[in-house]
Amino acid sequence: MKYAFTAKGESWDSEIDPRLGRTEFILIYDDKKNELSAYSNSEITQQAHGAGPLTVQKIIDLNPDILITGNGPGKNAAEVMSTSEIKIITGAGDMKIKEALEAYKSDKITG
């Protein structure tokens, strides 16, 4: 299973970034390989407008099965998201990455 997280940092102890379009980092966890990779989103956050769709495009290109985030996508980002099969889990806004994953696995946060 491949998980994507919107994050404020690059490690398991980093906090979830509640925003999607202007998230600072995108983290990808591949549980088969047990690997966590971090991708900076700064090029997109610097854009004056249209950050939502671009960030979602980037996430789709990374091919996760599930996205765990805080607030969820705005209107335009949601439109782009709907072209994929990625499951979106919201409500992780105050957690650290590893806590968010646990919360999802124990059904404490859902889509």
Partner 1 sequence: MGSFSYLGKSDLVIADCDVDAADLHMLLGPDYQRSEDYYSGELAILDQDKCINCGACLSVCQFDGIQSENGTFRIEAMNCEGCGYCQRVCPTNAIQMETQKVGEWYTSSSKVGSTMVHAKLGVGAENSGRLVAQVKNEARRHAKKEGKEIILIDGSPGIGCAVNSALSGADYVVFVTEPSVSGIHDLKRVTELVKGFSIRSGCIINKCDLNSQMLDELITFMADAGIEHIASIPYDETFTAAMLEGKTLVEYDKGPASQVLIKSWEKIKQFAETEGCLK
Partner 2 sequence: MKIAIASGKGGTGKTTLATSLSSHLSETQDVVLVDLDVEEPNSRLFIRGDQTHSQSICKQVPEWTGDCSLCGQCQEICNFNAVIKVGTQIMLFPELCHSCRACSELCPESALPLKPRKIGMLNQIQAGNLIFVESRLEIGEQQAVPLISQTKDYIDNHFDESYIIIYDSPPGTSCPVIEASKDADFVILVTEPTPFGLYDLKLAVEVMRKMKKDFGVVVNRDGLGNNDVLDYCDMETIPVLARISNDRRIAELYAAGELIFSTIPEFKEQLLLLERSLELSTVVDPV
Chain residues that interact with partner 1, rule: CB under 8 A: 22, 47-49, 71, 74
Partner in contact with 57, chosen from partner 2, partner 1, none, beta carbon below 5 to 8 Å by kind: partner 2
Q: Which is nearer to partner 1, 1 or 48 (CB)?
A: 48
Asked if 55 contacts 77 with a C-beta cutoff of 8 angstroms, the reply is: yes
Q: What is the DSSP string of 45-84?
A: HT-SS-HHHHHHHHHHHH--SEEE-SS---HHHHHHHTTS
Residue 15: DSSP 8-state? B
Give the shortest CB-101-to-partner 2 separation in angstroms. Answer: 26
Other Cβ atoms less than 10 A from the Cβ of 103: the count is 18
* 8-state DSSP, 96: B
**90 is an interface residue for partner 2 by CB under 8 A:** no
Of 47 and 82, which CB lies nearer to partner 1 in the complex structure? Answer: 47
- Contact between 65 and partner 2 by CB under 8 A: the answer reads no
- Cβ distance to partner 2 smaller for residue 38 or 60: 60
